[in-house]
Structure 1
């Protein structure tokens, strides 16, 4: 009996991690893939190991977790928890102004609907010396709720990839790109939104001359912004993307056209669309530099089968347990009046 409870506790811990959402695994520019920061690299560092060259910033979101609205004034909102440019390369990735950067996400649950937003911040000198608190961010791409679909869900349908066109007028130079999904499944309550910011180094080339002023990261949002404190389960969705004005728009963020979703997802839903590896229409080309000590992340599993009832079968997989656990959480929601985010 005790062995069974212990085993279930371990599986529950794995379930929480499995449903803890995603990170940017890398980017593709002109068909060339550049590695982002992998959570494995944190452990390699702790053990004195080496990591391959990568453009992603170091961060300690080890549970693939998020930054909550109550922490918007904390530096963690800038590039995620305890983030720093330590170990990242600023010479791997280059894009011509007017070109496209494809951001590849790990597995993302479609229940975690919300906007996808990208910012840039210029810097000079050595990337290792950059202080995130001093970077000033300009929004260059943003999508919320359009044509009955949330941007984060659309991203899943694009093989967990989000393409961003760099403005042609943007001045050449070195930039940190801040790419982010804001999950709104619990955002109808105060402090319920979940921000997943990721930072990567990309150099912009071309003949652009505009260098926007930007906003420091701790001033991008407030907990009560209309696009932060927002329930996505209304019959009619009228959503305003949070943050400063889009570059070149000449005004504040514009609400998306009100529309009625064809089938509003249940707040307790948490199905996923696993993607085994980052990909795009142009197949990414690996950029080998050094053999990493950190092991590759395991491929995402297929969708979890239904348990078919209240009881677990005698034999079950982790995915089956996750589905069963979510069903139990959903069943108690009307009594406890708590969202599934309270469990995951």
Structure 2
């Protein structure tokens, strides 16, 4: 089900690395922004993003939703349902995928993503023990151009932002962040909310010096990796 909200105008976009361009929820496809052919006033659930270029610091204000403001629509998602983000292009295979939610206290037009209210519902970092490998979450996106995550079944109903973030680590000590947000209305009979120790602010959910952010995957003999930010909340 779609819920109408005020219209917005998409800015001109520039091609570079990658961004979420649509979502699959409950057998339906919800179109997002397209890097080469933006549609003014597009009736979409995704918050606008300006280009495919990376964000280079964890404290950049664009980290919240890649510069996005409120979208005209929201998708209804039963708690326990999967949300699948889709990319039209992605070029890097080293780095984690992270999926976050933010509880909006009221309407989406007033939901700015500020404050210590973001929580992680999914992540896929390194599996195995070879940093300089393709055994990473972003390699899944590289191969499939999709990433699916389940909304926690016990989550309290309400308006939420869902934020998909790819952290590219293919350049030594030069992290590249690629986040996009969409608007979802979670339904169901759940009442659970994440504990305070799993809530964080975005930007700055971790320090730039965090070993999960500032890392050289080619040197140093590292054999393990911890995704930055709080642990995943499963409900």
Q: TM-score, normalised by structure 1?
A: 0.58
Partner of 2:95, secondary structure, is coil
Name the CA distance, whole Å, in 1 between partners of 2:125 and 2:184. Answer: 24
Counterparts of 1:163-242 in structure 2 under 5 Å?
Answer: 163-186=148-171, 188-189=172-173, 192-212=174-194, 213=196, 214-234=199-219, 237-242=223-228
Say if 2:110 is the partner of 1:129. yes
Name the CA distance, whole Å, in 2 between partners of 1:226 and 1:88. Answer: 38
Counterparts of 1:138-149 in structure 2 under 5 Å?
Answer: 138-147=119-128, 149=135
Q: Which residue pairs with 1:53 in the alignment?
A: 43
Q: TM-score, normalised by structure 2?
A: 0.82
Say if 2:151 is the partner of 1:162. no
Higher helix fraction (1 or 2): 1
Partner of 1:238, secondary structure, is coil
Q: 1:40 to 1:57 in 2, by over 3 A?
A: farther
Name the CA distance, whole Å, in 1 between partners of 2:83 and 2:224. Answer: 28
Q: Which residue pairs with 2:17 in the alignment?
A: 21
Q: 1:58 to 1:41 in 2, by over 3 A?
A: farther
Q: 1:41 to 1:84 in 2, by over 3 A?
A: farther
Name the CA distance, whole Å, in 1 between partners of 2:185 and 2:37. Answer: 23
Q: Which residue pairs with 1:105 in the alignment?
A: 87
Q: 1:96 to 1:238 in 2, by over 3 A?
A: same
Q: Is contact 1:99–1:166 with CA below 8 Å preserved after alignment? A: yes
Q: Is contact 1:41–1:51 with CA below 8 Å preserved after alignment? A: no
Deviation at 1:135, TM superposition (A): 6.5
Deviation at 1:58, TM superposition (A): 1.4
Deviation at 1:208, TM superposition (A): 1.5
Name the count of aligned residue pairs.
Answer: 213
Deviation at 1:236, TM superposition (A): 5.2
Deviation at 1:218, TM superposition (A): 2.2
Q: Which residue pairs with 1:31 in the alignment?
A: 27
Q: Is contact 2:108–2:159 with CA below 8 Å preserved after alignment? A: no
Q: Is contact 2:127–2:136 with CA below 8 Å preserved after alignment? A: yes
Q: Is contact 1:122–1:135 with CA below 8 Å preserved after alignment? A: no
Name the CA distance, whole Å, in 2 between partners of 1:55 and 1:36. Answer: 7
Partner of 1:128, secondary structure, is helix
Which runs of 5 or more residues in structure 1 are unaligned?
Answer: 1-16, 45-49, 250-344
CA RMSD of aligned residues (A): 2.1
Say if 2:72 is the partner of 1:88. yes
Name the CA distance, whole Å, in 1 between partners of 2:190 and 2:215. Answer: 37
1:87-108 Cα deviation digits (max 9, x unpaired): 4312xx1222111111101211
Q: Which residue pairs with 2:64 in the alignment?
A: 78
Q: Is contact 1:75–1:133 with CA below 8 Å preserved after alignment? A: no
Q: Is contact 1:118–1:140 with CA below 8 Å preserved after alignment? A: yes
